[in-house]
Homo-oligomer: A and B are copies of this chain.
């Protein structure tokens, strides 16, 4: 497949380059990293750890086996054999141009070369290349391992198909490439951000508000709007039935009112910098940098998961993208093989997600049920009940379960669910499951679970199709000799 990156190279490994490497490695792509900074390995390692933690919370879909990350000593070594090379060196046009020219000389002429620049035009960067047609800007947003956007911008010598290919190759690593029609300094996102930043600096300098108030104005209002719809779609709604045209007619005149500091650029004096820094300390100083970073990442994860459930479960924006990414992960995951044996089946390895805990940091009651329900789904996939099977009109419904809650799970705990198939005929699937904590094997909860096979067309219970029944029987037979767990068949309140 041409749309899947086979080997990646990262030139420059700070917060941005390190997160690109994390995106590649977590998508199963072997990646070489070149960064002459003496602490590059430590910095990249920290970013990688953040990214792995965030991915662990973001999705339960099966991530592929991690790609290999190798630190190398030269650009030439890094780019050898790579089909995507991402440049993330400091933001100086001469430095970036030199590095890109050096990459160009050493790389396979068909390899794509993306630059992480925040604002330099690709025409500037590709000036001295032999194969400039495959060079473009792929401008990501911090934290790159969570925010999916990459603005794709071509220069005068960039081939149009390069941008389309780049966009197609970003999807399998969970990113959203958007192609700009023309190059422009700072592209689209940083144009908008710079406009807000400039206006914000004036508001602080003129003592209209402090940094905390300004941030509150953003996050309690349009920030939430923009997490899910952008500016134009939001205003389209504001226009009501009359739509966009009405909105512009109504608010257009404001453009000529003195609503922004149109013509002036604020002078960044030491005094202003001190003012901002001390207001920022007052606002956020109670949290360390790492703590803020963790809170931010958990919030972003939660927002994307929320948007995944939006629009009647079809997903919206970054949540729809997450859905599609997970569908790819499932499609690319090795098909679960019916390795029936007398061992218990390890069905699920969830982590306790921030949204799963109460104010004490303990996993709430019904999240234990969620683990067992997800584990039952995993068993169904194991016997061939996949999306196609369900789409064709057959499925299993859970009809009954018995749970025991035995111990607490805490935020971030790695858990796992093991299962034993109890004697049942496949039209019914009867299992017993144990939820344990990975670190010490402590038993947290049990579930005796019963599913029934149904035809959604006929609206009634029917036997499963032969292929599914055969696989189910393999598991049932392999577990037939296991002793029935002591608490199977238990009633609520039964004395031991």
Cβ–Cβ contact A403 & B401, under 8 A:
yes
- Whether B226 pairs with A219 at a CB distance below 8 angstroms is yes
Query: At the interface, yes or no: A44 with Cβ under 8 Å from chain B?
Result: no
* B-binding segment of A59-67, A106-114, A256-264: A256-264
Contact across chains for A191 and B259 when beta carbons are under 8 A apart? yes
- A398 and B402 within 8 A (CB): no
Q: Provide a sorted-by-A list of 7 A–B residue pairs whose CB atoms are within 8 angstroms.
A: A215-B233, A241-B289, A262-B262, A305-B306, A306-B355, A450-B492, A488-B492
Find out whether the CB atom of B224 lies under 8 angstroms from the CB atom of A303. Answer: yes
Which parts of A139-178 form the interface with B (CB within 8 Å)? Answer: 141-142, 147-149, 151, 176, 178
Tell which of A20-28, A291-299, A378-386, A474-482 binds the partner: A291-299
Shortest CB–CB separation between residue A462 and chain B, in angstroms?
18
A361 is an interface residue with CB less than 8 A from chain B: yes
Min Cβ gap A105→B in Å is 29
Given the complex, which residues of B lie within 8 Å of A305, measured CB to CB?
A: 306
Instruction: Report chain B residues within 8 Å CB of A357.
Output: 309, 312-313
- Contact residues, A224-282 vs B (CB, 8 A): 224-234, 236-238, 240-241, 243-245, 248-249, 251-252, 254-260, 262-263, 265-266, 268, 273, 276-277, 279-281
A373 interfacial by beta-carbon distance below 8 Å: yes
Check if A360 is an interface residue, CB within 8 A of chain B. yes
Within the complex, what minimum Cβ distance (angstroms) separates A94 from chain B?
A: 15
Q: Tell me, yes or no, whether A428 is within 8 Å of chain B by CB.
A: yes
* Residue-wise interface mask of A (373-413) relative to B, using a CB-CB cutoff of 8 A (1 in contact, 0 not): 10000000000000000000000011111111110000100
Partner of A302 from the list B307, B398, B405 (CB cut-off 8 Å) is B307
Contact (Cβ within 8 A) A254 B119: yes
Give per-residue flags for A411-430: 1 if the beta carbon is below 8 A from chain B beta carbons, else 0.
10000000000001000101
B-contacting 9-mer, from A79-87, A196-204, A333-341, A343-351 = A196-204
Inter-chain CA distance A110–B318, complex, in Å, is 48
**Which B residues are CB-close (under 8 A) to A411?**
312
Which B residues are CB-close (under 8 A) to A263? 262-263
Query: Contact between B208 and A199 (Cβ–Cβ < 8 Å)?
Result: no
Count of residues in A whose CB is under 8 Å from the partner chain: 156
Interface presence of A188 (CB below 8 A): yes
Q: Which of B149, B203, B217 contacts A149 (CB 8 A)?
A: B217
Selected from B15, B181, B243, the residue in CB contact (under 8 A) with A280 is: B243
How far in angstroms is the closest Cβ of chain B from A164? 14
Is residue A364 contacting chain B, with contact meaning CB distance below 8 A? yes
Among the listed B191, B243, B303, B354, which residue makes an inter-chain contact with A227, where contact means beta carbons less than 8 Å apart?
A: B303
Q: Which of B179, B181, B217, B254 contacts A207 (CB 8 A)?
A: B181
A218 within 8 Å of B by Cβ? yes
Given contacts A283-B233, A284-B236, contact A220 B149 (CB under 8 A): yes
| Interface membership of A311, Cβ < 8 A | yes
For A354, the chain B residues whose CB sits under 8 A away are 309-310, 312-313
Q: Given the known A-B contacts A263-B262, A430-B492, are A311 and B295 also in contact in the complex, defined by CB atoms under 8 Å?
A: yes
- The 5 A-B residue pairs whose C-beta atoms are closest, nearest first, are A215-B230, A223-B226, A302-B306, A227-B227, A369-B369
Task: Tell me whether B228 and A299 are in contact (CB under 8 A).
Answer: yes
Q: Is the CB of B217 within 8 A of A189?
A: yes
Chain B residue at minimal CB-CB distance from A430: B493
Q: Nearest Cβ distance between residue A368 and chain B, in whole angstroms?
A: 8
- B203 and A289 within 8 A (CB): no
Nearest residue in B to A280 (C-beta to C-beta)?
Answer: B244
A96 interface contact, C-beta 8 A: no
Tell me the minimal C-beta distance from A429 to chain B in angstroms. 10
A314 at the interface (CB under 8 A from B): yes
